[in-house]
Amino acid sequence: MTLEEMKRIKQERGYTMAQLSEYSGVPLGTLQKIFTGETAYPRYATRQAIERVLAGEETIPSGGTMPTKNEHKPAAYGDGEKQKTTHTMCVSEPANAYGVQRGKRQGEYTVADYYTLPDELRAELIDGVIYDMSAPGFVHQRIAGKMFSYVDAYIQKKGGNCIPAISPVDVRLDCDDKTMMQPDLVIVCDRNKIKRWGIMGAPEFVLEVVSNSTRKMDYTKKLQKYAEAGVKEYWIIDPEKKILMAYDFVNENMPCIYPLEGKAGLALYNGDLQIDLKEIADLIQDWPE
């Protein structure tokens, strides 16, 4: 359903933004940004929640009036799970999450709660805790983009089943309802894990580019999560320290630490996929603090 179609159906049914928010479970601020075009690419689950209401797949009280809490429950959006939501949640990674709301505490949040966050908020759900990862900086995005270009060119040349994807892409790492992550770059070789909304299960390769808001998580919590979930290889590029830490979980436990010079190969491809680390370093040095 295109934006123009959604606008037309909304107008034909006489829904206000507040009603559409109540019926769909999508936060009002997120709806406003979608319908004004400010958010051009909403999350798949968000779009599906809106479309279910506009397509008449949800039970809407007759008369076009706002339902009471007992008359209507917001449409579940996110893998068909039931949820309760009307307000935006505010999160902060340095504070290791946000305050208690609606009787839930950190560690109790689920994928359904994750899907209620505004689309413009970059966040991750790890073991029931929601973390605000902050908007990535220019250097961060340049490094992630350069890494993707290396990987994508190699895979296209060699063929095979593996597919690379760059953030933002949702990764339901543990296939449960307590964790949803957004690595900077992934390589998925089991295509059965790829869904329209994102990835269900552990990718074969994960890259994280360290930023100030994610440093602690990238080096500790995410390292543990990726190893336990079955990720075969995990790379951390730290622009501040100008190093690459490469973990090959299949063949060894200790990381290889490289200065950003020379080249390094992905263990996933037996070292044949070579990354020019000097080019990565140049992306950091080109721009002032």
Beta bridge partners of 160: none
Please tell me the distance from the alpha carbon of residue 261 to that of residue 270, in angstroms, as a whole number.
20
User: Which tops the pLDDT comparison, 185 or 14?
Assistant: 185
pLDDT at 220: 92
**What's the pLDDT tens digit per position in 202-235?**
999 999 999 887 888 899 999 999 999 999 999 9
Mean of pLDDT over the chain: 81
Structure tokens at 45: 């689950």
Q: Residue 289's pLDDT is what?
A: 64
- The residue type of 150 is Y
The pLDDT, as a whole number, for residue 95 is 34
Higher pLDDT, 37 or 237: 237
The pLDDT value given to residue 236: 97
Backbone angles phi, psi at 247, to 5 degrees: -105, 120
Question: 273 or 251: which carries more pLDDT confidence?
Answer: 273
pLDDT of residue 98 exceeding 50, the answer is no
**261 vs 120, residue with greater confidence:** 261
pLDDT (mean) for 88-101: 39
- What integer pLDDT is reported at residue 286 of this predicted model? 63
pLDDT > 90? residue 21: no
Judge contact between 146 and 279, C-beta under 8 A.
yes
Query: What pLDDT was estimated at residue 86?
Result: 34
Q: Residue 30's pLDDT is what?
A: 82
Strands (DSSP E) along the chain, which ranges? 123-126, 129-132, 163-166, 170-172, 185-188, 198-200, 205-209, 233-238, 243-248, 256-259, 263-265, 274-276
Between 212 and 127, whose confidence is greater?
127
Is pLDDT of 78 > 70?
no
Model pLDDT, residue 283: 93
pLDDT of residue 60: 52
Listing DSSP states for 219-279 in one string gives IIIHHHHHHHHT-SEEEEEETTTTEEEEEETTT-SSPEEEESSSEEE-GGGTT-SEEEHHH
Kindly state the average pLDDT of the residues 71-93: 35
**pLDDT value of residue 278:** 95
Neighbour count for residue 150 (Cβ, 10 Å)? 18
**Residues 32-61: pLDDT tens digits?**
788 888 777 777 778 888 988 888 765 554
Domains of the chain, each with CATH number or no CATH: 3-132 (no CATH), 138-285 (3.90.1570.10)
The residue among 4 and 150 whose pLDDT is bigger is 150
pLDDT value for 134: 76
pLDDT of residue 197: 92
What pTM was computed for the model? 0.67
